[in-house]
Amino acid sequence: VESLCPYCGVGCQLTYQLEGNRIISVVGRDGPANRGRLCVKGRFGFDYIHHSHRLISPLVRKDGVPKLAEDYVDPGNPYTHFREATWDEALDLAAAGLARIREQHGGQALSGFGCAKGSNEEAYLVQKMVRTGFGTNNVDHCTRLCHASSVAALMETIGSGAVTAPFSESVNADVLMVVGANPTENHPVAATFFKNAVKAGAKMVVMDPRGQTLKRHADYMIQNKPGTDVAVLNALMHVIVQENLYDEEYVQSRTDGFEELRVHLLDYSPESMSEHCGIPAGILREVARLYGNAERAMIFWGMGVSQHIHGTDNARCLISLALLTGQVGRPGTGLHPLRGQNNVQGASDSGLIPMVYPDYQPVSDPSAHAFFEEFWGATLNSEPGLTVVEIADSAHEGRMKGMYVMGENPAMSDPNASHVREALCNLEHLVVQDIFLTETAVYADVILPASAFPEKDGTFTNTDRRVQIGRQALDPPGDARQDWWIVQEIARRIGLDWNYDGPRSIFEEMRGCMPSIAGITWDRLCEEGAVTYPCRNVGDPGDPIIFGDGFPTPDGRGKLIPVNIIPPDEVPDEDFPMVLTTGRHLEHWHTGVMTRRARVLDELEPEAVCEISPADARRLGIVPGAWVRVTSRRGVIELKARITGSTPEGLVFIPFCYSEAAVNLLTNAKLDPFGKIPELKFCSVRLEEIDFPRVSAPQ
């Protein structure tokens, strides 16, 4: 069965090979994003769907079982806390709890999290149910933890939050800049295109506090001190302006704000920034000249840029760099925030965001509000809703009373996880729709067993804005059901008159309110497998490279925004002298719910580790494999030490996929004021060796 990979935003096309109702192997197809290539997750990461932990019948919390933040429920045996229920009983209970809160406290006491792993159609239904059924815009998803700040900066400066060109355009570039991203682990097939580009003669600059595999292919590895991106990027722009390497014609005709930026950058010479960021001034000048002299250059960035309280500022600098040099809108040029989840782009496009309806139409804009009231035949709230972290805070304070969570795992993925777990316990009513008993589902009142990726049809939008079709290969196990069906059944029970008969009819409705995909038909997707939006009219080819003739801002011009240095929220001190940063491992995805149940992947990376530098290991007397305790102001975890040359002194790196040592128990929830994204890439911690683990939860 021809389908897609469910893991990262690259969107590799693949073929499932089946025997009965089991996937026995997977091979890559010649899709536009992967050209037959797959990484280890796409090739070996599918047997999670056959795992014995799959939820196969609806569950409801047993009477009298309390919700305790530090509770542990064996995902293989949920019956200590839950009992099986029929679908009717579970759906009635789930909907009745939501409806009661709506009647007693109003819609603002409710919220919903959708899923960036689900299809566009599922995301659209969740946000529509929250807006038209709950009566609130309190709907969000993990984009808030991923590229919310990048989108805020892109919307502000060039009027659109999506990439301007696909990552495969890297093969037409002379210079690639990869900033705050680790694509060989997080977007491995995209990384192969970057390596191809270098082999064909392109120069590559990698900028990241952690060393990484891609540096073997790079001409420059800028390993700046954590949290100093603005200093580095302002220094590069200083040189580009001072040495007249900017594109004067482009700046004059396409942008606003140059003079203000020029004056601002006078204070940011490489010599004055060098000590702050830890990079020699000469290197900063060489890199600035390399980028400034390029005929075609692309910038790729990841969560190392976005997950800071100054994440929006970081992205503003990258955008200014590209606008100053006219590196947008032509082959081999562009701005590309590498999107994390397989469908985080599509879930955002479909309206799973508290401030905007589908296609990024602001909920506070009277004309968009009027359009959607008429389109959906409902009275809508025009107040932007709360974001992921704000919803947790609201639940913690007792204002948020009920939640519907489809496929998200905030108890693992959100910062300051103890606080989040307490917030989930505080809810009067929590409904979770998922394929496993996640760390979040432990706190649910009702759990609805859903379908895994290979068990459903749907459209998914990759990091390139490419809408692709995923096809059902298998039936869901036991009494698990299609996600769109579950959402519709809840919606009906809270008073909505929905009659969709499957993903195709939902997609048809979406085309009617999303001009960007209006020209993409379901039949065409089935035939061609992928169409890139914007595709406004049936028959349009789709538009991979955009903004060659101006930006979708009111005057068609891009904005250059000067940015000052803001220190991280929590800097190291005597008690917590090291910096903690988080991310992923190649073999595990996100909170590990799927990949830790995929046999090959879990055997490759079976246990929680933290990476530290050889210098810190020597100083602290830690040998490889030793147990260490990592403590922040918010929590403590215990796990094994891995000593890596790529980790700079003073830094601790911990992936967030390990539930037995959940790093988000340590992280800081302080938000970027524009994107409302937490500072997951920087907080201060203390590290010490221990004899044996004390606090780790059982697996």
The correct pick among 91, 116, 162, 189 for binding ligand SF4 (CB under 6 A) is 189
**Residue placing its CB nearer to ligand SF4 in the complex, 12 or 241:** 12
d(C-alpha 283, C-alpha 695), whole Å:
45
Rounded to the nearest whole angstrom, what is the least distance from the CB of residue 10 to ligand SF4 in the complex? 4
- Strands (DSSP E) contained in 600-666 are 609-612, 627-631, 636-643, 651-655
By CB under 6 A, tell whether 7 contacts ligand SF4: yes
- CB within 8 Å of 55: residues ≥ 6 apart: 78, 434, 435, 436, 437, 447, 449, 450, 480
> Which residues 574-593 are close enough to bind ligand SF4 by CB under 6 A?
none
Closest to ligand SF4 by CB, 5 vs 139, is 5
Minimum Å gap between C-beta 165 and ligand SF4 is: 18
Distance of closest approach, residue 392 Cβ to ligand SF4, in angstroms: 28
- Closest approach, Cβ 119 to ligand SF4, in A, equals 15
Closest CA to 117 of 448, 404, 450: 450
Residue nearest to ligand SF4 (CB): 42
Residue 318 Ramachandran class (φ > 0 left, ψ -120 to 50 alpha, else beta): alpha
If DSSP codes are grouped into helix, strand and coil, which group holds residue 192? helix
- Evaluate the CA torsion angle 214, 215, 217, 220 in order and state its sign: positive
CB of 153 to ligand SF4, least distance (A): 25
Q: Rounded to an integer, what distance in angstroms lies between the CA atom of residue 21 and that of residue 584?
A: 31
Q: Residue 8 interacts with ligand SF4 (CB under 6 A)?
A: yes
Taking the complex as a whole, the smallest distance from the CB of residue 168 to ligand SF4 amounts, in Å, to 13
292: helix, coil or strand? helix
Using CB under 6 A as the binding criterion, the count of chain residues that bind ligand SF4 stands at 14
The span from the CA of 562 to the CA of 181, in Å, is: 23
**Residue selected from 180, 188, 503, 678 as contacting ligand SF4 according to rule CB under 6 A:** 188
Q: Is position 336 an interface residue for ligand SF4 (rule: CB under 6 A)?
A: no
**Token pair recorded at residue 399:** 């204002």
User: Considering beta carbons, is residue 189 or 206 the nearer one to ligand SF4?
Assistant: 189
Taking the least distance from each CB to ligand SF4, the nearer of 460 and 658 is 460
Piece of the chain touching ligand SF4 by CB under 6 A; list 6-14, 200-208, 487-495, 508-516:
6-14
Structural contact between residues 672 and 230, judged by C-beta atoms closer than 8 angstroms: no
Taking the least distance from each CB to ligand SF4, the nearer of 396 and 466 is 466
The rounded distance, in Å, linking the Cα atoms of 526 and 458 is 10
Q: Which residue has the tokens 């100054």?
A: 310
Q: What is the rounded distance in angstroms from the CA atom of residue 453 to the CA atom of residue 156?
A: 34
* Backbone φ and ψ of 197, nearest 5°: -60, -45
Instruction: Kindly indicate which of the ranges 86-94, 181-189, 410-418, 507-515 contains the residues binding ligand SF4, using the contact rule CB under 6 A.
Output: 181-189
For 2, counting Cβ atoms within 10 Å of its Cβ (0-12 exposed, 13-18 middle, 19+ buried), the class is middle
Per CB under 6 A, which region of 3-11, 149-157, 393-401, 592-600 contacts ligand SF4? Answer: 3-11
Rounded to a whole number of angstroms, the minimum distance from the CB of residue 694 to ligand SF4 is 35
CB-wise, 291 or 453, nearer to ligand SF4?
453
Cβ at position 46, least distance to ligand SF4 in Å? 11
* 3 within 8 A of 15, measured Cβ to Cβ: yes
At 254, which amino acid appears?
Answer: R
Q: Which of residues 252-291 bind ligand SF4 (CB under 6 A)?
A: none
Q: Which of residues 15-54 bind ligand SF4 (CB under 6 A)?
A: 34, 38-39, 41-42
Site for ligand SF4 in 432-471 (CB under 6 A): none
Q: Which stretch binds ligand SF4 (CB under 6 A): 186-194, 200-208, 309-317, 412-420?
A: 186-194
Q: Residues in the site for ligand SF4, rule: CB under 6 A?
A: 5, 7-8, 10-12, 34, 38-39, 41-42, 187-189
